Chains A and B, each alone.
Chain A
């Protein structure tokens, strides 16, 4: 049971190939960190793994099955900017229900207050919005999560609260989690395994 990326190649239109033959393995129930400087293609890999971008070649399988091109994708991406990840014209209840109807216990665990459900995104803080994005991503059939600089924009206390909540849920449900971040201290603290992005981009460096 794993998210497996095999020989993945990708290039942005008109640019040099970003990945030529990238391989990645995220076991269900583990937390894998993807490290590297800004602009080195970490978010692109996250988008590829979540199905937002299509690779030129290579294979992405989820528990042995190819990543579906249509319908619900069992790999859910949590974006860096939650204010961009929710429709500004939708109330938060409708944002959540676009995915599923989380139980009151789940909402409480993620830290969403009942009165926030009737608000619009602009009436909530970034940390509060990110909790909604996490709850939305946690559909019962979600198998893997990609957290792309998920808490970079928040203060230390909010960061700690959000990670504490998410890691608890990930462990309880046996989900695989790919954490994309350039914060080494965070990765050291939460990841079972870390992968430098350079190793994915250039798997066979010249000696």
Chain B
């Protein structure tokens, strides 16, 4: 790596961190500060285009779209973080356990990974969400159980490399348990990979949460979720009420792009060999 590329990458990473932090902070602050009264129905102000009073316009029930988008994004962020955390935990536990355990367990985990990769994940997600009954548990379970495989493969490969490191052999010779080795030696060294995996998983999770909700398997229609806003707004695009779908879509795109970019830059920082940028 040339001398100028490294500081440039670092500056880009800091910019991404600041931008994502400001965006998340603004969404969370907005969801707390914005008044819920803007979400009550009002016949007089239905389907108003964007203006000073309603920057993102109003919907067919006269509710302020800006408030709905901000509250929807806050909900998406919360669900996204929780789901990505569950998915990262599944990847970590299975990846490390497979690499440190007996060969039959490693083979079983490999088979499970192949199985989950082999099934089209949107169908799988819908099935799981439908089985659980939709809502927050359906979305979290559906998305978390279909997004752990890539990171689990990475963690498993990293752990296999570390398993043969001299300091791990020494630890085994000192009688330390696989649990001790996993928590003291493997996890601290695999943690950058986990952070990158989590951040890169997050935009997928948010998008899939919106997709599941859009398809009718996620949140209930009363919830101000981005997927609900999009599915409500789509029929109005052709009748010229573009703001009902464009603003929620753009807001979702902004959040997803910010996290995807941050994830790519973190990967370039922690593991430059596998990064493209």
The interface of chain A, by Cβ under 8 A from chain B, is: 50-52, 70-73, 76-77, 79, 81, 84-90, 94, 98-99, 133, 136, 139
Question: A85 to B171, alpha carbons, bound, how many Å?
Answer: 9
Cβ contact within 8 Å between B185 and A87:
yes
Give B232 Cβ to nearest chain A Cβ, in Å: 49
Is the pair A87, B173 in contact by a Cβ cutoff of 8 Å? no
Which residue among A70, A71, A133 has the maximum number of chain B CB atoms within 10 Å of its CB?
Answer: A71
In the complex, A94→B184 CA distance in Å? 10
Distance to closest chain B CB from A20 (angstroms): 25
Q: Are B173 and A76 in contact (CB under 8 A)?
A: yes
A77 touching B170 by the CB < 8 A rule? Answer: yes
Cβ-based interface call for B169 (8 A) = yes
Given contacts A79-B166, A81-B166, contact A87 B174 (CB under 8 A): no
Interface 0/1 of B158-176, CB less than 8 Å to A:
0000000111011111111
B132 part of interface (Cβ distance < 8 Å) = no
From residue 186 to 206 of chain B, which have CB atoms closer than 8 A to chain A?
188-189
CB–CB B184/A90 < 8 A: yes
Alpha-carbon gap, A99 to B165, bound state (A) = 17
Residues of A within 8 A of B173 (CB): 50-52, 72-73, 76-77
Complex CA–CA separation, A72 to B172 (angstroms): 8
In the complex, the answer to whether A87 meets B175 with C-beta atoms within 8 Å is: no
A191 to chain B, nearest CB (A): 23
Shortest A62–chain B CB gap in Å is 13
**Are the C-beta atoms of B175 and A85 separated by less than 8 Å?**
no
Q: Give 7 nearest A-B pairs by CB, closest first.
A: A72-B175, A84-B166, A71-B175, A89-B188, A85-B166, A87-B167, A73-B173
Q: Which residue of B lies closest to A139 (CB)?
A: B174
Q: Which of B9-53 contact A (CB under 8 A)?
A: none
Query: A89-B189, A98-B184 in contact; A84/B174 too (CB < 8 A)?
Result: no
Contacts beyond the supplied A90-B188, A99-B174: 15 A-B pairs with Cβ under 8 Å: A72-B173, A72-B174, A76-B174, A84-B166, A84-B167, A85-B170, A86-B167, A87-B184, A87-B185, A87-B189, A89-B188, A90-B184, A98-B184, A133-B170, A136-B170
Find out whether the CB atom of A98 lies under 8 angstroms from the CB atom of B165: no
Most interface-central of B165, B169, B184, B188 (chain A CB within 10 A): B169
Min CB gap A135→B, angstroms: 12
